[in-house]
A and B are shown apart, each in its own frame.
Chain A
Amino acid sequence: MHVFELGFVAAVLLAATPILYAALAGALSAQAGVFNIALEGQMLWGAFAAVAGSYYTGSAWGGLLTAVLSTALFSVILAVGAARWKADPIIIAIGTNLLAIGLTGFLLRVLFGVSGSFSPRELQGLPKMTFLTDVPVIGPIFSGQTVLVPFAFVVIAAAGIWLKVSPAGLRLRGVGEHPDAAASLGVEVARYQTWVTIVGGALCGIAGAQLALGNVTVFTENMTAGRGWIAVAAVMLVGGRPLWLPVACLGFGAAEALGFRLQGIGAPQQLTDAAPYAITLLVLIATRIRLPRRRTAAAVTTSAPTPAA
């Protein structure tokens, strides 16, 4: 196992980045009291939109933009449904996840006439930071990565600080902690929840773009393959606190990268498959996390807090 190689660090970052963006989306929703498990589907849609956008505009940045915008749009279903109409976010999420799988596969056939995967020669991937190649240490780690990788940490830091210091952040946290109280002070709960969910959609768009145009340059049916669910678990793990997300997500990245490398010393491939989930579960148990009642209620049961009268 070459755990101590910089290559390993790079692999960890690569595996963690899409999860980081998705998890940030989940954490922001959690802060606003919306239990968002639609990340998997939104990321998948983002990946498809990124590839389609890059293919049609001929530019990876066009792909990224398409992914961000269209995934934000896609997340409006959850935003309006759960936040404004007070429908059960879990059911909507399950629906949209299925919808994303279907729609991407469907459009793959209808738009590009292929099934399975789509990676035409002219498809533009996001540029790698090759200019770093000769920098010691940094080079081997980042030169093969897109700019979205370091950007993830910037965005998360910004989000964390924003939540702490800005008026909107304060209000958002209040909305999540006690919607009725927020409402009685004239803070429009639904509006905050709606917007935070849509911003989350945009973030999932970035996650998908990084996955489809950064980690690789291709779209494959169901290519998120559970990464969105790992993100949900990450949000659980940190109790929705963005600033802790890097720890959790890099943990998953390490788990996956490590699992892959375990094959090198003869571990069966099935162990690789199970590793990230098993480690997540063990960490969850180890930390014996207990979310605040309200959020647990949202998480453990469908009983949404009774609408602000």
Chain B
Amino acid sequence: MTSTTTPPATGPEAPAPGRPGARLVRAALRHPAVVPVGAVVLALLIGAVIILAAGLDPVTAYAAVISGALEPGSLDYTFSVWGFIIGMALAAAIPLRMGEFNLGGNGQLVLGGLTAAVIAGNLPLPGPIVIPLAVLGAAVVSGAFGAISAPLATRFGIPIIISTLLLSPIAVAVVSYLVRFPLGEAGAAVAQTPRLPQDARMWALGDLSYSNVGLLIILALLVVFWLVDSRSAVGFELRVVGANRRFGAYGGVRVGRLALGAMAAAGAAAGVVGAVMVMSSPFRLIDGALISPGYTFAGLAAALLAGGRPALIPVTAILFTVLQVGGAAMERSADVPRQLSDVLQGVVIVVLALRTVLDQRRTERSSA
């Protein structure tokens, strides 16, 4: 069992015996934040080596990433991306708590987007009604879609990681078809739905043009997950099942239902992201446009890096947001290919997996 899915093993609470001083140090070393931070630092070093090997200058490259993502001009955009990545991180983190991997984020995302586009685009209702309706609809549809994987696992023994993986491209293809033919905008050169009416566009935050109320909705979802995970019976059951499925079943946890709920919640989170993306500029669903930024994998990465812990997700999401948004800036001003940010994301995850083990070993040794 990796501590990725069992905070208790490495959790902040776990004290270490011995002199108080040593105990403090050990406790500090086992703070859940240590692993991610270590992973990131190491990853950045490895990335630097790669940049050097390519005959480029890591310092300017990283500087460009930071400034590109955090310069005042682009903060607005960066925040919106941060929201999307947090949303997709939720879609991965909720099942991760019970030891399941949701690799179907793309399908859930586009289904949500499509639902929102249909509702918001066709219901001639005032914003205060149609916008919540569209978001809710997206959550429901994507939630239902995500939930399919649960019975597939409990009834047919098809691992969720596999079924989500196989279902996703099917959903993407279906949405692509709908956007191209029945729901497509006539005369458009690419497959896309008509532009949403003014009323049906997500409320802006002040004069920000990217970050809108959608960001707040996603953050709200995060808070809810955090409460459920840390304080609720369901959250506890999620972690128990993640640690030992048979133990959970024996203890009276309805594992099947739990999986259903977790996958539905995950799908819903992704669906909400899709809805928010569609209801933000350019206010329409364009074939492939929701997937191409790769928020799904960035979110998965952020969730893994956080070990599914809700409290850490916003932090780890920052990392992948900066890598995403800053990656392009790095390409511009430091002439380091954009793909390097993918490399860094990959390295972070790998290093994290390995660091987790070292951390886990330390726990084992100092346990008892």
Contact = CB atoms under 8 A, between A and B. Distances in A.
- Interface range, A side: 35 or more
B339 A106 contact: yes
A277 B169 contact: yes
A81 B165 CA distance: 24
B157 A233 contact: no
Contacts of A96: 346, 350
B52 to A, nearest CB: 12
B54 A77 contact: no
Contacts of B177: 268, 270-271
Interface in B301-357: 301, 304, 337-350, 352-354, 356-357
Contact of B340 (A102, A236, A290, A291): A102
Interface string B139-167: 00000000000001101111111110111
Interface centre among B244, B297, B353 (most CB of A within 10 A): B353
B342 A105 contact: yes
Contact of B159 (A106, A273, A278, A299): A299
B82 interface: no
Interface in B98-135: 98-101
Contacts of A270: 173-174, 176-177, 180
Interface centre among A77, A87, A268, A304 (most CB of B within 10 A): A87
A101 interface: yes
A270 B166 CA distance: 15
Residues of A contacting B: mostly = helix
Interface string B166-205: 1101101110110011000000000000000000000000
Contacts of A290: 157
A289 B304 contact: no
Contacts of B31: none
A268 B345 contact: no
Contacts of B349: 91-92, 94-95, 98
A99 B169 contact: no
A233 B166 contact: yes
A85 interface: yes
Interface residues of B, number: 62
Contacts of B167: 277, 281
B91 interface: no
Contacts of B159: 236, 296, 299-300
Contacts of B170: 274, 277-278, 281
A193 B345 CA distance: 26
Given A300-B99, A301-B99, A81 B245 contact: no
B243 interface: yes
A86 interface: yes
Given A277-B169, A291-B157, A91 B162 contact: no
B2 interface: yes
A304 B2 contact: yes
Contact of A281 (B163, B173, B353, B356): B163
What are the nearest 4 A-B pairs in CB distance? Answer: A102-B342, A99-B346, A95-B349, A301-B99
Given A280-B166, A302-B4, 20 more contacts: A91-B4, A95-B347, A95-B352, A98-B301, A99-B343, A268-B180, A270-B176, A273-B172, A274-B173, A274-B174, A281-B166, A299-B161, A300-B100, A300-B160, A300-B245, A301-B98, A301-B245, A302-B2, A303-B242, A303-B245
Interface of A: 37, 77, 81, 85-88, 90-92, 94-106, 108-110, 115, 226, 229, 232-233, 236, 268, 270-271, 273-274, 277-278, 280-281, 284-285, 288-291, 296-297, 299-304, 306
Interface of B: 1-2, 4-5, 50, 54-55, 96, 98-101, 152-153, 155-163, 165-167, 169-170, 172-174, 176-177, 180-181, 242-245, 297, 300-301, 304, 337-350, 352-354, 356-357
7 contacts: A88-B353, A95-B346, A97-B346, A99-B346, A106-B339, A288-B156, A299-B161
